[in-house]
Chains A and B, each alone.
Chain A
Amino acid sequence: MRIEGKVWKFGDDVDTDLIIPARYINVSDPDVLAKTCFIDIAPEFASAVVPGDVIVAGKNFGCGSSREHAPLAIKAAGVGVVVAKSFARIFYRNAFNIGLPLVESEGAWNGIAAGEKVVVDLTNGRIENLETKKTFPARPIPEFMHRLIEDGGLIPHIRNIKKSAR
């Protein structure tokens, strides 16, 4: 699985209140949630993000409240993949369970600037900066988690398993 897009850059410890503040989570429609994604730290994000865009963040991305709205908003905004030095645990599970891929890479943050084009290769664990041609290794995602993403998240994944068992 390869995702190509323009980079949005964030720092360390971006918590779920910053991804989508609680005052906007009284709806569960992902397209509505997407409109206020990052509103307090990057107000231009929601209107300027393009499908396939890539978030590159520092350590502990998604810490704080366990709200599923956070990965839902990012996914519905069109983001293809989030790359970070590390992820908070609950956000990590929520993201794969709703079908948003995440990859961990220590080196990518220093070697990629906002607005640059990158290709994220989920299968081989590799991120390439198309502007500088530099590549960065990413921690490979286990095989079964690729299927979670391909199926669109945990619920459709379980439905597919049930269907094929019948």
Chain B
Amino acid sequence: MATGEIWLKVPPTIRVNYEGGLRPWVGGKDLILKTIGILGVDGATYSALEYAGGTIKSLPMYQRFTMANMAVEAGAKSGIIEPDEITLAWLRGRARQESRVFKSDLDARYERILTIKADGLEPQVAFPPSPANARPLSDVGHINLDQVFIGSCTNGQIEDLRDAASILKGRKAAKGLRLIVIPSTPAIYRKAIEEGIVGVLLDAGAVIGPPCCGPCLGGHMGILAEGERALSTTNRNFIGRMGHPKSEVYLANPFVAAASAVLGRIGGPDDL
């Protein structure tokens, strides 16, 4: 702002097309974990990732946010989705000024184009210590957990909390497991109270934290001790990320996180 200039390298674009309808308990988190698994943690370094295809066209906004949020886990500069009716509906009542829609040219040049078949996709779980270590839920095996964390910038929208609450309603977190929920913003926190979601989560034994990063980066409240294991809806699971260098973090979507909290091990809603 001081000079009106900024230094940057213009990024090439990698387009990822997703085709097919999603199975139950599968969403944006699973699409992006699968994508990072294919690209690797530096597969999109300094590039722009553009998510497109039929699956994305019907993907709700909160799940698009998760995908955009995690573009950096593949090294990308940005993760973009062409604005459509879903985007414009989300903007209504939120945007303080007239929006201008930018779309990729029909003859745009892409550095690489990938296609991912989404219809057979299972919920994905990224194993420590890399967001690129994605495996389908059915290949996870028996992994006991000490903590489940639902929230953060990546998956702390009101819809994420609704997804988790729909699984946790009438159920309890496993004995000895810490279930921590952190809404992304004070407005989401308020909404979760008004909708009764906070009550459902408290009944399930959850601790609700104030909107912040919380244990995601080992900041506070839910820091992992030596040898502990957590499943988390956050964006990265590097060595020591949530506490002790000898603790482990697994990444998954809020449905899987909620089910895993009840099971005391990694599992999906179908295992309940």
Q: What are the residues of chain A within 8 A of B130 when measuring CB–CB?
A: 13
Verify if B101 is at the interface (C-beta below 8 Å from A).
no
Verify if A120 is at the interface (C-beta below 8 Å from B).
no
Verify if A161 is at the interface (C-beta below 8 Å from B).
yes
Verify if B102 is at the interface (C-beta below 8 Å from A).
no
Q: Which residue of A lies closest to B44 (CB)?
A: A89
CA distance A15 to B237 in the complex (A): 11
Q: Looking at the complex, which one of A22, A88, A144, A145 makes contact with B45 (CB distance below 8 Å)? A: A88
For the complex, count residues of B whose C-beta is within 8 A of A: 24
Q: Looking at the complex, which one of A13, A22, A63, A161 makes contact with B218 (CB distance below 8 Å)? A: A22
Q: What are the residues of chain A within 8 A of B45 when measuring CB–CB?
A: 60, 86-89
Verify if B42 is at the interface (C-beta below 8 Å from A).
yes
Q: Which residues of A contact B (CB under 8 A)?
A: 13, 15, 17-18, 21-23, 40, 59-60, 63-66, 86-90, 92-93, 96, 144-145, 148, 158, 161-162
B41 and A40 form a contact (CB under 8 A): no
Verify if B62 is at the interface (C-beta below 8 Å from A).
no
CA distance A63 to B42 in the complex (A): 8
Q: Looking at the complex, which one of B75, B76, B239 makes contact with A17 (CB distance below 8 Å)? A: B239
Question: 5 A-B pairs, CB-CB below 8 angstroms?
Answer: A40-B240, A64-B238, A93-B8, A96-B7, A158-B3
B245 and A40 form a contact (CB under 8 A): yes
CA distance A88 to B245 in the complex (A): 22
Q: Which residues of B contact A (CB under 8 A)?
A: 2-3, 7-8, 41-42, 45-46, 72, 75-77, 130, 217-219, 223, 236, 238-241, 243, 245
A17 and B42 form a contact (CB under 8 A): no
Give, as a whole number of angstroms, the nearest-CB distance from B189 to chain A: 23
Q: What are the residues of chain A within 8 A of B76 when measuring CB–CB?
A: 89
CA distance A18 to B219 in the complex (A): 15
Q: What are the residues of chain A within 8 A of B46 when measuring CB–CB?
A: 89, 92
Give, as a whole number of angstroms, the nearest-CB distance from A139 to chain B: 12
Give, as a whole number of angstroms, the nearest-CB distance from A11 to chain B: 12
B236 and A64 form a contact (CB under 8 A): yes
The B contact surface, by secondary structure, is: loop
CA distance A97 to B258 in the complex (A): 41
B2 and A13 form a contact (CB under 8 A): no
Give, as a whole number of angstroms, the nearest-CB distance from A79 to chain B: 21
| 4 smallest beta-carbon distances between A and B, as pairs | A60-B42, A22-B217, A15-B238, A22-B218
B239 and A18 form a contact (CB under 8 A): yes
B72 and A90 form a contact (CB under 8 A): yes
A18 and B3 form a contact (CB under 8 A): no
A21 and B240 form a contact (CB under 8 A): yes
Using known A-B contacts A21-B218, A144-B7, determine if residue A63 contacts B41 with beta carbons closer than 8 Å.
Answer: yes
A158 and B2 form a contact (CB under 8 A): yes
- Point out which of A15, A66, A162 has the most chain B C-beta atoms below 10 A from its C-beta: A15
CA distance A136 to B75 in the complex (A): 26
Give, as a whole number of angstroms, the nearest-CB distance from A72 to chain B: 17
A18 and B240 form a contact (CB under 8 A): yes
Q: Looking at the complex, which one of B7, B8, B42 makes contact with A88 (CB distance below 8 Å)? A: B42
CA distance A61 to B46 in the complex (A): 13
B3 and A13 form a contact (CB under 8 A): no
CA distance A165 to B7 in the complex (A): 19
CA distance A17 to B3 in the complex (A): 33
CA distance A145 to B9 in the complex (A): 12
A13 and B42 form a contact (CB under 8 A): yes
CA distance A59 to B42 in the complex (A): 8
B41 and A13 form a contact (CB under 8 A): yes
CA distance A64 to B130 in the complex (A): 10
Q: Looking at the complex, which one of B3, B217, B219, B239 makes contact with A40 (CB distance below 8 Å)? A: B239
